[in-house]
Amino acid sequence: MFPSLYDQQTLDEMLARIDQLTPESQPLWGKMSVAQMLAHNNVAFDITYGSTPVSYNFLMRWMLKRFVKPIVVGDKPYEKNGRTAPVFIVADERDFAKEKAELIANFNRFHNDGAAAFEGKESASFGKMTSQEWSNQFWKHMDHHLRQFGV
């Protein structure tokens, strides 16, 4: 099981790792710049909080729930150079400081909303999820990309 972002110590550790990133941070694998990676992680929060609406037809949602959800919220870390869903691709240049501040605010918002706000909350991609699945999703995704940038 992964650390819970509802726990203050876990949140503080994640934010400390994010704070180690600089505009000069270089990836150990992959194509994104550090600013693009931060923006890429913000997309997950934007979808969760409704500022980037997404919808899928029945078949696509079934496939996402059946085949992708276990990877996203399950017990194994993400593999290097995995496929990225189109909505998460950030190809343009981004402002590092802006994206970093937004990501920190997003993690704080998630933590402050708390587990009760996410228990049974509907995911656009995966249907209803437990609060632990929500935490796993955000923690695993960020941990993956922090490791990508050596932090």
What mean pLDDT comes out for the span 43-67? Answer: 94
**Helix 96-118, helix 131-148: angle, nearest 10:** 160
Q: Which of 96, 105, 101 is nearest to 26 (CA)?
A: 96
Tokens of 136: 């796993």
90 with 41: CB under 8 angstroms?
Answer: no
Instruction: Give pTM, 2 decimals.
Output: 0.94
What are the pLDDT digits (tens) for 90-148? 999 999 999 999 999 999 999 999 999 999 999 999 999 999 999 999 999 999 999 99
pLDDT value at residue 84: 87
